[in-house]
């Protein structure tokens, strides 16, 4: 059974939204307010306020290292705000009910990238936690990325200076790495040869 999208009406502020209803990506595109939202299976989720300074530092360092590594590589890295539409089986905006903005994502299939963002599953997703968004990241998004077949999902906790990586097993269920922290060097199964020294990432946070 498909979702029933509410009738379209001009929405210029978040307060005009009905958080009990189901919305599509088409609705999302029609909103004119600046506040960032995500849609998970048609339900609206508010994003955290402007990221903490520690969040920004980690994001910038990781993005910089990924960009250097991916020079002359078919994969590309993108940072939020960047819409990822899942599961991506259809280009019809009215039939898409999950739109996320991961902190960083790497996409290795150029056909999934268009002017609106990513239509389909990224190969690698990284979320950098803030005190205000831990529950959503650890529960709602975890399930979506697992269901959608994201090959590697990293969760970074700047305050605790830790990283956990998740990769699917042969049944498609995520299995966690050990908890990594300063002193560890992490590698990517999606990007062979890439390594990240966490001391450099967390050094000034």
| Domain extent at residue 189 | 53-202
**Within a domain: residue 181?**
yes
**Within a domain: residue 112?**
yes
For residue 188, the model assigns a pLDDT of 96
**Within a domain: residue 197?**
yes
Cα separation, 166 vs 146, whole angstroms: 9
For residue 5, the model assigns a pLDDT of 52
Residues in the chain: 205
Residues of the chain with pLDDT under 50: 1
**Within a domain: residue 29?**
no
**Within a domain: residue 33?**
no
For residue 172, the model assigns a pLDDT of 95
For residue 205, the model assigns a pLDDT of 57
Token digits for 112? Answer: 């999934």
- CATH code: domain of residue 148: 3.90.1570.10
Mean pLDDT, the chain, integer: 91
**Within a domain: residue 37?**
no
**SS3 letters for 25-77?**
HHHHHHCCCCCCEEEECCEEEECCCCCCHHHHHHHHHHHHHHHHHCCCCCCEE
For residue 1, the model assigns a pLDDT of 45
For residue 204, the model assigns a pLDDT of 67
For residue 131, the model assigns a pLDDT of 77
**Within a domain: residue 186?**
yes
Q: What domain count does the chain have?
A: 1
Predicted confidence (pLDDT) per residue in 28-57, tens digit: 999 998 888 999 999 998 887 767 899 999
**Within a domain: residue 43?**
no
User: Which residue in 95, 1, 92 sits closest to 39, CA to CA?
Assistant: 95
Cβ–Cβ under 8 Å, residues 121 and 89: no
């Amino acid at each position: 059974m498909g979702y029933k999208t509410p009738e379209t009406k001009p929405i210029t502020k978040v307060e005009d939204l009905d958080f009990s209803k189901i919305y599509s990506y088409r609705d999302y595109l029609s909103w004119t307010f600046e506040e960032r939202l995500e849609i998970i299976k048609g339900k609206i989720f508010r994003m955290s306020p402007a990221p903490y300074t520690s969040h920004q530092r980690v994001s910038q360092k990781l993005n910089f290292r990924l960009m250097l590594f991916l020079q002359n590589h078919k994969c590309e890295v993108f940072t939020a705000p960047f819409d990822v539409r899942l599961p991506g089986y259809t280009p019809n905006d009215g039939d898409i009910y999950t739109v996320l903005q991961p902190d960083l994502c790497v996409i290795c299939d150029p056909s999934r990238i268009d002017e609106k963002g990513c239509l389909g599953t990224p190969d690698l997703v990284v979320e950098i936690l803030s005190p205000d968004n831990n529950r959503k990241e650890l529960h709602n998004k975890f399930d979506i990325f697992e269901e959608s077949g994201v090959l590697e999902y990293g969760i970074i906790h700047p305050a605790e200076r830790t990283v956990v990586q998740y990769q699917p097993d042969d049944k498609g269920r995520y299995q966690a790495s050990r908890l990594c922290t300063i002193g560890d060097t992490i590698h990517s199964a999606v990007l062979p040869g890439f390594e990240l020294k966490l001391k450099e990432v967390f050094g000034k946070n």
